[in-house]
Amino acid sequence: MSVTMVIGAQWGDEAKGKVVDLLSQNADITARFNGGDNAGHTVINDYGTFKLRLTPNGFSNPKTTCIIGPGVVVNLSTLIVELQMIKDAGIDLRDRLWISPRCHVVMPYHPIVEAIYELAKGNASTGTTGRGMGPVYADKVSYNGIRLADFQDLQILREKLQVQLHVKNALFKAFNQELLDPQKVLEEKQEQYSQVQSMIREPFGLVQQALRDDAVILLEGAQGSLLDNTWGTYPYCTASTTLSGGVTAGLGIAPQHIKRVIGVTKAYTTRVGRGPMPTELKDSIGQVLQNEGKEFGTVTGRPRRCGWFDADLVSFTARINGFTEIALTKLDVLDTLPKIKIGIGYHPFGHKGILAHYWDGDAHWLEGYEPEYIEVDGWMQSTRGMTQFDELPLQAQAYVHRIEQLVETRVSIVSVGPERNATIMV
Ligand code: GDP
Ligand code: IMO
Ligand code: MG
């Protein structure tokens, strides 16, 4: 049981960072395999509070090797700031971080291309984090990307950059954007590359040896399953594969090695950005969830939309990822509510009948459907910081069991506060 994955079961920000930090204490390797600096994973541990964008958790454990796998897209500016932040906290990561040279690089033109599209789409915009994710992955799959490996040969890098800016500057001109100077971009990125060059080395061999040694490997998913580029609420989704299956290409681990897949889900639902969210609450209860849960985006600071737990969605993500267990987070945020609802499926507005499921339709379809709910009793007392399941009020225990039953997956971790020790191992 050496390889464990931690995957977001909803629309991101489920507290994957906390769960990975918790499990990383005896990990030999922790790795990111998808997404980029659109991620913001909060960790509160003995060294302080960190909001990590690219570095995998496990960074605070001197025995853990951290890997940024080839499926991740790297913004060098973000990485440099993040490594400095970690260093300032007294943690030496240099010899423990491996970054794949296969990683594509977010170039200065990617966020500009993204902004042009978002503006052109108007009300149909995705509401991205503005980190250039769509364009950098689009360049990757259309053979126009620049990888870290390209920085090893200045001539290759210069030629690739010239082609890209030839095309991108034509677009910028058409949309009245400032043009980018190839030489300036080259110098800026080269200088940044030189700061992290010593950490760029392919981790494939290291990972394969770790598998042979039955080492403890922890894989940290970014974003959430409902933001997956294929199975999420397209086009209100992200650019990478966010599902457990993404690790095979994103890190180079064959599927049979993955023995444990932990789906992280909040005890309610949140979403940042646009797109359907059937159980969204636009009333005072939504406000309670937002205030109590401090629901503001880690990367952009945008308020997160809040709503009831949607069991149909998490049941879907449990199946598609093969969750072997669930980490149920932020249960304490529900502490003051007298009644709690859970969505269990959808029906068209005004038509009751057979319930439809998430996978029956697309994002547009989901906008036109409303959830069917069941209602359960709240517990109306603080669960904050509890460490034993039996300590939880009976209604809270019943709520956890109801979720297990609806999602057909065992809850193995309950989180009742942001701190490491505000955790119940069930
Ligand atoms: P991630 O992207 O999945 O790692 O999640 P984020 O870090 O973006 O957002 C989760 C937020 O919830 C962070 O601010 C955490 O500190 C906080 N948090 C994590 N677990 C709990 C919990 O059980 N209760 C409360 N109240 N906050 C939590
Ligand atoms: P973590 O890893 C929550 C959302 C954006 C937007 C959509 C597309 O912290 O859970 P993108 O910038 O990826 O092109 O934006 O995806 N999004 C996230 N929402 N948590 C995240 O990451 C997210 N990463 C992207 O808000 O709706
Ligand atoms: Mg986050």
Whole-angstrom CA distances from 384 to 46, 60, 356 are 19, 25, 36
For ligand 1, the distance from its centroid to the CA atom of residue 418, given in whole angstroms, is: 6
Among residues 41, 110, 228, 310, the one annotated as catalytic is 41
Tell me: the pLDDT tens digits for 282-312? 999 999 999 999 999 877 888 999 999 999 9
Is the CB of 132 inside a 6 Å radius of any atom of ligand 2? no
| Catalytic-residue membership of 257 | no
Is the CB of 226 inside a 6 Å radius of any atom of ligand 2? no
| Catalytic-residue membership of 401 | no
Packing angle of the helix pair 394-407, 311-321 (nearest 10 deg): 50
What's the pTM value of the predicted model, to 2 decimals? 0.97
Tell me: the pLDDT tens digits for 138-152? 999 999 999 999 999
φ and ψ of 328, to 5 deg: -95, 115
Q: Inform me whether the pLDDT recorded for 1 exceeds 60.
A: no
Give the integer Cα–Cα distance in Å for 409 and 321: 12
Tell me: the pLDDT tens digits for 19-54? 999 999 999 999 999 999 999 999 998 889 999 999
Give the integer Cα–Cα distance in Å for 67 and 201: 10
Ligand nearest to the CA of 19: 1
Is the CB of 329 inside a 6 Å radius of any atom of ligand 1? yes
Is the CB of 35 inside a 6 Å radius of any atom of ligand 1? no
Ligand nearest to the CA of 18: 1
Give the integer Cα–Cα distance in Å for 105 and 111: 12
Ligand nearest to the CA of 222: 2
For ligand 2, the distance from its centroid to the CA atom of residue 380, given in whole angstroms, is: 32
Tell me: the pLDDT tens digits for 117-141? 999 999 999 999 999 999 999 999 9
Is the CB of 332 inside a 6 Å radius of any atom of ligand 1? yes
Is the CB of 263 inside a 6 Å radius of any atom of ligand 1? no
Distance of CA 410 to the CA centre of its chain: 22
Note whether 310 and 371 are within 8 A (CB).
yes
Atom 6 of ligand 1, nearest CA residue: 13
Tell me: the pLDDT tens digits for 241-255? 999 999 999 999 999
HEC readout, 96-164: HEEECCCCEECCCHHHHHHHHHHHHHHHHCCCCCCCCHHHHHHHHHCCCCCEHHHHHCHHHHHHHHHHH
For residue 10 the two structure tokens come to 């909803």
For ligand 1, the distance from its centroid to the CA atom of residue 313, given in whole angstroms, is: 20
Among residues 13, 139, 310, 332, the one annotated as catalytic is 13
> Which residue is associated with the tokens 């590359």?
193
Q: What one-character-per-residue DSSP string does 299-367 give?
A: TT-PBPEEE-EEHHHHHHHHHHHT-SEEEEE-GGGGTT-SEEEEEEEEEETT--SSPB-GGGS-HHHHH
Give the integer Cα–Cα distance in Å for 360 and 220: 29
DSSP state of 200: B
